[in-house]
Amino acid sequence: MMNAALGPLDYRVPDGLDVNAGAVVVAPLGPRQVLGIVWEEERLPAERIDDSRLRPFISVCDVPPIRAELRRLIEWCANYYCAPLASVARMVIASSAALRGAATMTEYRLTGGMPERMTAKRELALAALEGEQGSLRELAEMAGVSEGVLRGLVNQGAIEPVEVDCDRPYPQARADFAVPELSPQQSEVADRLVEATASGGFAPFLLDGVTGSGKTETYCEAIASALEHGKQVLVLLPEIALTEAFLRRFEDRFGAAPVQWHSSLKATERRRAWRAIAAGTAQVVVGARSALFLPYARLGLIVVDEAHEISFKQDEGVRYNARDVAVMRARFEQIPVVLASATPALESLAMADSGVYERLVLPSRFGGAQMPDIQLIDLTEDPPERGEWIAPPLRRALFQRLERGEQSLLFLNRRGYAPLTLCRHCGYRFQCPNCTAWMVEHRLTHRLACHHCGHVVPAPRFCPECKEEDSLVACGPGVERIADEVKALWPQARTAIVTSDTLFSPARVADFVKSVEAGDIDIIVGTQLVTKGYHFPNLTLVGVIDADLGLEGGDLRASERTFQQIMQVAGRAGRGQKPGRVFIQTRMPEGEVIKTLIEGDTERFYAVETENRRRANAPPFGRFAAIIISSEDADEAAQVARLIGKSAPLIEGMRVYGPAPAPLSVLRGRHRHRLLIHATRQVDIQAAIREWLGNIVWKSSTRVAVDVDPYSFM
Ligand code: ADP
Ligand code: ZN
């Protein structure tokens, strides 16, 4: 049996029970009870304990067994990402509430009746809870009143309890609810996807279509086909913020919302989703990367939207790339998988070029909408005023849009007000006590925050070093500061700041989308969170405040990422009838990335970047892996890192760099060192690392993590 914490453990099957591989069981472990998955004996390491010395496990959970296809995926992930089998298995049975069998719970809703005595709070609650149902705690949160207020309303008969079946079925989506008329180009692509979905079998697609070309519209046809065949579909999105827009699109097309899966689900929702997915009654699941490891009964199609997004890479625990695992899952399930993107990752393009993925192209926007016109602002020639960040040409364009009642978007990938605060008098800089990082000023919340560990302090009034008052200055801009600049220029302009600080829940995203669509926002100032997915027809201007920002630090994918980000944000402009325009502010107008963006020459960008990678033997040509050593004790971390470095194997086609202190040398109070392994495709890099680390011992206070195909080099 596979136990989540310890790896494979042996148990005896209790007398009279018939259990097969895949069963989810409860077993004793010391004084505790733990969950596990029954595994095939022959697929585990050979050491077995004599049957007579084994404890029997306790019970089998009332859920369908984990299918062999998913068990093979778990093994593949553990092997490929050098992770414990049990850590991967744990992601499958993460929702322990789901495993406890059928249940009911009590929820509350308005009766329509009025309380005898009305108070302001009660009135507020009654207005807010129209049509809602949930636990008292959830309703209290929705209405912004205490649970006590609601309990009062229950006593007065204005709110009533209802018994709900935790496993009540989801509304059914209908393939033919609102079938769109596709353009000939779209039809061709859709037909191919539908055909592959209907016939089944492993079929990986790269759906490469410019922003607004109808990628979503076309893959929805494949979803329709899966629905008709009674198959389940998984749609992976890179961010929860994007689910909101997708939910609405989906409901318009299929007449019912899909099932959601992400970290902010309530425990009851999680349970209901898990069980419906395992039972096969959840038809379409839209979720974050963890939805990949759910026990679908009849998966028929996987879609990875915005497949180039680096947030598909998980950087803690099991360090997997959901895009790649999605393809593997499709292979084990023998079904099609669609990677959709307007700016595919170089890795995905290489797979298409070599014929592994089938490439489907949508080269133009739907409905005759034009791609936006992209222009450059050379900040060395046309600089903004000192202490400001919007250069005159962009300022003029913004003013024009305000005059015409059109909307604009300013993009800067930096949360908060300013990335650094320093003392003008003594030079003191505010640094995080737990990380090698500056504290970022957040003026909206009057705090300084570390974006790595979440440490926050109230905004200081004086310098802690020299005690000078009014000596602190903010250095550099974040989105809040850009929004301030806009407000100073046009006090009447209605702005919205869009970052993970402001759009932290699906409800906030929904509010934001509604107010933009209603025309209540003139200028959006946002981070990468607004670069993708949104479709605002009246948005005609995009300004990129600092195109050079992403190129700093120069990691492997810096150019690619900058190109993708700017293409994506540019893709928000001119999606409706009115043409869009994009301004890119840069100090390096001659840079390759900027030049190709201006010329709209995507082909050349990819060609040049591919050649660079080929020459450096970087992915997708060569491979990287990282070993990250961390400990609260600086000496201990350094020692283990040296030990690992000294024992590096000599293998042809593989080089080991380091150990060296990580660029982010202290994170959450842990001192970090890194080794980087660079190898040709021929080397079995995982086997090499497993054997290498398998021969070394270190204290459990030191953590050694392996990152295969790393995205972060910090
Ligand atoms: P992408 O996913 O490639 O960015 P979308 O699928 O979001 O593109 O399409 C862009 C916009 O055009 C959306 O508002 C979508 O509803 C609309 N659209 C695309 N194709 C069609 C179609 N065949 N019929 C009607 N509307 C369409
Ligand atoms: Zn920190």
pLDDT tens-place string over residues 658-684: 899 999 999 999 999 999 999 999 999
C-alpha of residue 457 to centroid of ligand 2, in Å: 11
pLDDT tens-place string over residues 424-483: 999 999 999 999 999 999 999 999 999 999 999 999 999 999 998 889 999 999 999 999
Answer yes or no: is the C-beta of 217 below 6 A from any ligand 1 atom.
yes
- Residue 2 confidence (pLDDT): 52
Answer yes or no: is the C-beta of 574 below 6 A from any ligand 1 atom.
no
pLDDT tens-place string over residues 517-541: 999 999 999 998 888 778 888 999 9
Rounded CA-CA distance 300/111 in Å is 42
Tell me the average pLDDT across 314-318.
Answer: 92
C-alpha of residue 216 to centroid of ligand 1, in Å: 7
pLDDT tens-place string over residues 564-594: 999 999 888 888 888 899 999 999 998 888 9
Residue nearest (by alpha carbon) to ligand 1 atom 23: 182
- Residue 344 confidence (pLDDT): 95
Is a pLDDT exceeding 60 seen at residue 3? Answer: no
Going by C-alpha positions, the residue among 73, 72, 60 that lies closest to residue 99 is 60
C-alpha of residue 303 to centroid of ligand 1, in Å: 16
Tell me the average pLDDT across 301-314.
Answer: 95
Q: pLDDT tier at 232 (50, 70, 90 boundaries)?
A: very high
Rounded CA-CA distance 206/451 in Å is 34
Rounded CA-CA distance 313/316 in Å is 9
What angle separates helix 602-616 from helix 558-570, to the nearest 10 degrees? 160
Answer yes or no: is the C-beta of 209 below 6 A from any ligand 1 atom.
yes
- Residue 102 confidence (pLDDT): 64
Ligand 1, pocket-test mutation among 179, 207, 216, 246, most atoms within 8 A of CB: 216
Q: Name the average pLDDT for the chain.
A: 91
- Domains observed in the chain: 2-93 (3.40.1440.60), 105-165 (1.10.10), 184-362 (3.40.50.300), 371-414+479-610 (3.40.50.300), 416-476 (no CATH), 622-708 (3.30.70.600)
Tell me the average pLDDT across 393-405.
Answer: 96
What angle separates helix 215-228 from helix 240-254, to the nearest 10 degrees? 60
Helices (H) and strands (E) counted in the chain, each on its own, are 19, 29
What is the CA 699 to chain-centroid distance, rounded? 33
- Residue 101 confidence (pLDDT): 64
Among the bound ligands, the one closest to the CA of 670: 2
Answer yes or no: is the C-beta of 214 below 6 A from any ligand 1 atom.
yes
Is a pLDDT exceeding 80 seen at residue 639? Answer: yes
- Residue 638 confidence (pLDDT): 96
- Residue 355 confidence (pLDDT): 95
Collect contacts of 38-47 with beta carbons under 8 A, ≥24 apart. 38/1, 38/2, 38/65, 39/1, 39/2, 39/8, 39/71, 40/71, 43/75, 44/8, 45/8
Answer yes or no: is the C-beta of 246 below 6 A from any ligand 1 atom.
no
Tell me the average pLDDT across 180-185.
Answer: 95
Q: pLDDT tier at 554 (50, 70, 90 boundaries)?
A: low
How big is the chain by its Cα radius of gyration, in Å?
Answer: 27
Q: pLDDT tier at 685 (50, 70, 90 boundaries)?
A: very high
C-alpha of residue 180 to centroid of ligand 1, in Å: 10
Among the bound ligands, the one closest to the CA of 430: 2
- Residue 46 confidence (pLDDT): 67
Rounded CA-CA distance 193/219 in Å is 7
Answer yes or no: is the C-beta of 183 below 6 A from any ligand 1 atom.
yes
Tell me the average pLDDT across 96-103.
Answer: 70
Q: pLDDT tier at 1 (50, 70, 90 boundaries)?
A: low
Ligand 1 atom nearest the C-alpha of 305 is 2
Greatest mean pLDDT among 113-117, 501-505, 542-546, 710-714 lies in 542-546
Tell me the average pLDDT across 321-343.
Answer: 97
- Residue 366 confidence (pLDDT): 87
Is a pLDDT exceeding 80 seen at residue 611? Answer: yes
Tell me the average pLDDT across 215-233.
Answer: 97
Tell me the average pLDDT across 39-44.
Answer: 85
Is a pLDDT exceeding 50 seen at residue 4? Answer: no
C-alpha of residue 450 to centroid of ligand 2, in Å: 5
Which residue in the block uniquely carries the two structure tokens 């925050």? 449
pLDDT tens-place string over residues 52-61: 788 889 999 8
Q: pLDDT tier at 169 (50, 70, 90 boundaries)?
A: confident
| DSSP 8-state secondary structure symbol assigned to residue 712 | -
C-alpha of residue 595 to centroid of ligand 1, in Å: 29
Report residue 257 as tokens: 């919302």
Q: Which residue has the higher pLDDT, 519 or 128?
A: 519
* Coil, strand or helix at 279: helix
- Residue 99 confidence (pLDDT): 75
Least confident of 20-24, 204-208, 269-273: 269-273
Tell me the average pLDDT across 392-406.
Answer: 96
Ligand 1 atom nearest the C-alpha of 186 is 23
Q: pLDDT tier at 195 (50, 70, 90 boundaries)?
A: very high
Answer yes or no: is the C-beta of 213 below 6 A from any ligand 1 atom.
yes
- Residue 427 confidence (pLDDT): 92
Tell me the average pLDDT across 486-498.
Answer: 96
C-alpha of residue 350 to centroid of ligand 1, in Å: 27
Residue nearest (by alpha carbon) to ligand 1 atom 18: 214
- Residue 492 confidence (pLDDT): 95
Answer yes or no: is the C-beta of 540 below 6 A from any ligand 1 atom.
no
Contact 91, 293 (CB under 8 A): yes
Is a pLDDT exceeding 90 seen at residue 127? Answer: no
Rounded CA-CA distance 418/270 in Å is 38
677 Cβ partners below 8 Å, 6+ apart?
624, 625, 626, 627, 654, 655, 656, 657, 685, 688, 689
Answer yes or no: is the C-beta of 568 below 6 A from any ligand 1 atom.
no
Residue nearest (by alpha carbon) to ligand 1 atom 25: 180
Rounded CA-CA distance 519/289 in Å is 33
- Residue 579 confidence (pLDDT): 87
Q: Which residue has the higher pLDDT, 45 or 59?
A: 59
| DSSP 8-state secondary structure symbol assigned to residue 437 | S
Tell me the average pLDDT across 404-410.
Answer: 96
